[in-house]
Amino acid sequence: MNDTNLIDKHINFIRHQINNDLDSGLHSVIQTRFPPEPNGYLHIGHAKSICLNFNLAQDYKGKCNLRFDDTNPAKEELEFIKSIKNDIKWLGFDWDGDIQYSSNYFPKFYEYAIELINKELAYVCFLNAEETREYRGTLKQTGKDSPYRDTSITENISLLEQMRKGKFSEGECVLRAKIDMTSPFMCMRDPALYRIRFEKHHQTGNEWRIYPMYDFAHCISDAIEGVTHSLCTLEFQDNRRLYDWILEHLDDFNKLNRPHQYEFSRLNLEYTVMSKRKLQQLVEGRLVLGWNDPRLPTISGLRRRGYTPTGIRNFIECIGISKVDSMTDMKILENAVRDDLNIVAQRTMGVIDPIKVIIENYPESQVEIIKAPVHPQNEDMGKRDIFFSKELYIDRADFKEVAPNKKFKRLAIDKEVRLRNAYVINATTFDTDFDGNVVTVYATYDPDTLGKNPEDGRKVKGVIHFVEASKALKAEFRLYDRLFTLENPGKNENFEQLFNPKSLVVTYGVVEPSMQYATPEVAYQFEREGYFCRDNETNDNLVFNKTVALRDAWSS
């Protein structure tokens, strides 16, 4: 039995397969790959594939390479390649060897296409799109052979060469595999292998006028690179037949230890969409502020929002690997991130909707420095300076003229409350504006309650946070909610109409002066408010994105 079995804590059907392949001697070492198409930013569904492929390689002491499946230059951009590399690194993984591109193998793909023609297993077809659909048939009706199916080997090779030289227009013809037009599997009814595209490629320039289809390029790329276990999501399950057919009919790869494809369920997350096409619609329709909008499930968006690599990896581990498609509750993701941040996040204070408090019996010009823990459960993280003076800011929600009930543990007239890490205060009166909104609360403080309870035995149960006024820094807070109003918006054809107009709410408040040096993308716990991180695109201003609430905020 392979030694890895003894340390594998999260066995699943893929690991069972790998164990069997190693035990039987089919493979002596495994190789996986992460093969994104550079036509958009990665999202958390891709993170599942990243974690699966790279972790398997690490656990089994194998290799995992990064390959860009760049066979459609019309939709691919160098910006996407750069972002994908950054996302993988940020998640904590690194690929083996040099980055690969399917475009590296364009000459080999062409050679293999010629081989299939010579074996009378491929032909150039001039049916137009409508005719192709008609000849293809339906799930209930078999297809029929193309009139170009019996073109001679010599002529097919000549036609493919003319395609390559740009002698035909886009859509005029394609190279098709000759398999079985009566197959119950649509992907096996003479699928296209090459199509004409007059697009400049980001790697090969204008060298090629024809580009291989994904299904043709993907399996051959795997085989060239020595991939043993080709892992993909369930929508490619039927395409496994084409994957196998291509490799079985090419002399270089028709061997027992060639790559084999295995499918697992994709990640579907509630109240968002997990399709690059749909995400692109949101970006191009300006419903969101770019691919890295913190409301999006893109890795760059989650990073900008303050999610941690550890939290995301723990989430992926929690949901596991299976063959059952399902919707994943947003609470599982947020809990994983919250659990990590609870351990690593520094504490600070920020007031999101501030009103002023004037401590009437505090010395007029004094500003007191108080030592507070950076993390209450981790003394090794040290202390931080907070400030206290006659004028402070507290959150509007933390004051009521009259306590609404006995459970109200915040500030009210003639009701005492403790300020976090500071003194006990008692509200005496307040001022309002013309609309009746409270603008200033007047209070007194007990100077003998710093770090201790009142000496006369008074019990003060409530604790609220504050920021000292003279050193407070103005800040913008961006509060996020569900991106869509429906649990599974992707099933709706007009999913954009389900966009949640309250998915972003902006407020203006104050933070401690130390937050001037807050690191972008690093989440801090704003005590009693939640986890926030400084936005990574607004460094000149203090803008904080809400990462996650202190407790579950997704309950209906």
Spatial distance between the Cα atoms of 474 and 543, rounded to a whole number of angstroms:
9
Can you tell me whether residue 115 is helix, strand or coil? helix
Q: How many CA atoms lie within 13 A of 211 on its CB side?
A: 25
Look up 452 and say whether it is catalytic.
no
Can you tell me whether residue 75 is helix, strand or coil? coil
Burial of 528 (0-12, 13-18, 19+ CB in 10 A): middle
Can you tell me whether residue 371 is helix, strand or coil? strand
Nearest-10 crossing angle of helices 309-319, 44-59:
80
Spatial distance between the Cα atoms of 250 and 248, rounded to a whole number of angstroms:
6
Q: Token pair of 336, please?
A: 């994983």
Q: How many CA atoms lie within 13 A of 496 on its CB side?
A: 12
Q: How many CA atoms lie within 13 A of 331 on its CB side?
A: 7
Q: How many CA atoms lie within 13 A of 389 on its CB side?
A: 15
- Name every residue whose Cβ is closer than 8 Å to that of residue 105 and which is 6 or more positions away in sequence: 217, 220, 221, 224
* Token pair 């807070």: residue: 477
* Token pair 């293809």: residue: 136
Query: Quick one: three-class SS letters along 526-549?
Result: ECCCEEEEECCCCCCCCEEEEEEC
Spatial distance between the Cα atoms of 357 and 227, rounded to a whole number of angstroms:
66
Q: Which of 37, 270, 334, 521 is catalytic?
A: 37
Return the H-helix or E-strand segment holding 418.
strand 416-419
Q: How many CA atoms lie within 13 A of 383 on its CB side?
A: 7
Q: Which of 85, 144, 149, 266 is catalytic?
A: 266
Q: Token pair of 232, please?
A: 């993909």
Q: Which of 276, 390, 534, 546 is catalytic?
A: 276
Look up 266 and say whether it is catalytic.
yes
Distance of CA 136 to the CA centre of its chain: 37
| β-strand partners of 508 | 476
**What's the chain's length in residues?**
556
H helices within 165-272, ranges in order? 214-225, 240-248
Per DSSP bridges, beta strands 391-395 and 354-359 are antiparallel
Look up 37 and say whether it is catalytic.
yes
Instruction: Tell me if 430 sits within 8 A of 440, measured CB to CB.
Output: yes
Instruction: Tell me if 249 sits within 8 A of 119, measured CB to CB.
Output: yes
Instruction: Tell me if 299 sits within 8 A of 88, measured CB to CB.
Output: no
* Token pair 């040290």: residue: 382
Spatial distance between the Cα atoms of 278 and 295, rounded to a whole number of angstroms:
14
CB neighbour burial string for 272-311, b if at least 16 within 10 angstroms, e if fewer: bbbebeebeebbeeebbeebbbbbbbbbbbbbbbbbbbbb
Active-site residues: which are they?
A: 37, 266, 276
